[in-house]
Amino acid sequence: MTSRLRPGDGTIVTIERFILEQERDYPDATGTLTNVLYDMALAAKIISSHTTRAGLAQILGSTGEQNVQGEEVQKLDAFAERTIFRLNDHTGRLAVMASEEIDNPIPIPPQFATGKYVLVYDPLDGSSNIDYNVSVGTIFAIHRRKSAEGPGTLDDCLQPGRDLVAAGYIIYGSSTIMVYSTGQGVHGFTLDPHIGEFLLSHPDIRIPAKPKYYSANQGYERHWTEGVRRFTQDLQGDNEQKQALSLRYIGSLVADFHRNLLAGGIFYYPADSQDPRKPQGKLRLVYEAAPLAFLAEQAGGYASDGQRRILDIRPERLHQRVPLYIGSRSLVEKAEDYIRRYDAVPAAQ
């Protein structure tokens, strides 16, 4: 859907005004989803204010704890986790939350009312890059609850991405940009830190037809299957058109995804047959792959696990990992084709 509000022609459009404008297209909207998106924008401002002064706020480095993933918890992602929880636990808008940092679904404290939405999120993805001043990001997704009433359930959090109501991310980089979709296209807002407002800067994002980049950690190439290795060679120019893409890999999912969303390209994190920690790759389905897949498809792209559409995969576990190929549809489908031709596991006889 093309937004009626455009930057640059003198209009200054805040994210709050834009969300309200979009809400008008849903006459039966109650404003609850609008307010959850406001809450995520506020969380983004608070987290951004800390990421830009992490070194000064003495919150660099690790807490010394490990999260459910077995990863060191950086102080900044603990801060991000607390910020998102505290902004959402008492609003009466959510039935339950789930976070990359927390083993199980996060119940709404009993003293607060529950609501009709479910918020799943990675509070600070790429946090291992914090100490090197590399862009990091927050990823979030919003489902309608399936359970009737009262405390939300694990099942509320394990819904396929195709049922998402909204998804988005915030990238904390040279500027802080919030990108989201409610199924009416993908729109980006850049934070003006002087006035504390997210201003519409990227309306109606569409992935360019002609891709420019591919993003993959080729340090693991020896662990990839033949199909994925052949696909990578194709991207490097071993194809009929002799067309090669440039390699850009930051090692921070939100930053790598954001660049491919705007410039055209593919990010992939394949299954890793040699690493028992990552037989299904490293990235998580519920709060990384599915939200970004929702955005990619809203922007004209596509996302797959190499064989199945990400949005069609029904999660079985909260922290389930999944191979991820995401970005320009032509490239993701090419990856699926190579995997089908060279890696297909023969059907059981």
Please give the residue ranges that form the binding site for ligand P6P (CB under 6 A): 125-126, 128, 217, 251-253, 256, 282
Which residue, among 172, 313, 311, 151, has the nearest Cα to 253 in the 3D structure? Answer: 172
Of the pair 129, 307, the CB lying nearest ligand P6P is at 129
C-alpha to C-alpha distance for 200 and 326, rounded to whole angstroms:
25
Beta bridge partners of 136: 172
CB of 125 to ligand P6P, least distance (A): 5
Of the pair 100, 197, the CB lying nearest ligand P6P is at 100
Which residue, among 163, 170, 172, has the nearest Cα to 188 in the 3D structure? Answer: 170
CB of 270 to ligand P6P, least distance (A): 11
Instruction: Report which DSSP code applies to 322.
Output: -
Of the pair 33, 253, the CB lying nearest ligand P6P is at 253
* Three-state SS at 341: helix
C-alpha to C-alpha distance for 34 and 16, rounded to whole angstroms:
8
Of the pair 115, 137, the CB lying nearest ligand P6P is at 137
C-alpha to C-alpha distance for 277 and 293, rounded to whole angstroms:
23
Of the pair 117, 172, the CB lying nearest ligand P6P is at 172
CB of 23 to ligand P6P, least distance (A): 32
Of the pair 194, 277, the CB lying nearest ligand P6P is at 277
Which residue, among 15, 314, 17, 56, has the nearest Cα to 192 in the 3D structure? Answer: 15
CB of 65 to ligand P6P, least distance (A): 16
Is the Cβ–Cβ distance between 184 and 238 less than 8 Å? no
Count of CB atoms situated within 10 Å of the CB of 108: 22
CB of 44 to ligand P6P, least distance (A): 17
Of the pair 115, 291, the CB lying nearest ligand P6P is at 291
Which residue, among 110, 117, 121, has the nearest Cα to 96 in the 3D structure? Answer: 117
Q: Which residue has the tokens 């490293």?
A: 282
Q: Which residue has the tokens 């504390």?
A: 196
CB of 102 to ligand P6P, least distance (A): 16
CB of 278 to ligand P6P, least distance (A): 8
Of the pair 163, 221, the CB lying nearest ligand P6P is at 221
CB of 253 to ligand P6P, least distance (A): 3
Q: How far is CA 181 from CA 10, 15, 103, 189, 264, in A?
A: 24, 12, 27, 12, 18
Which residue, among 300, 307, 292, has the nearest Cα to 338 in the 3D structure? Answer: 307
Beta bridge partners of 178: 170, 189
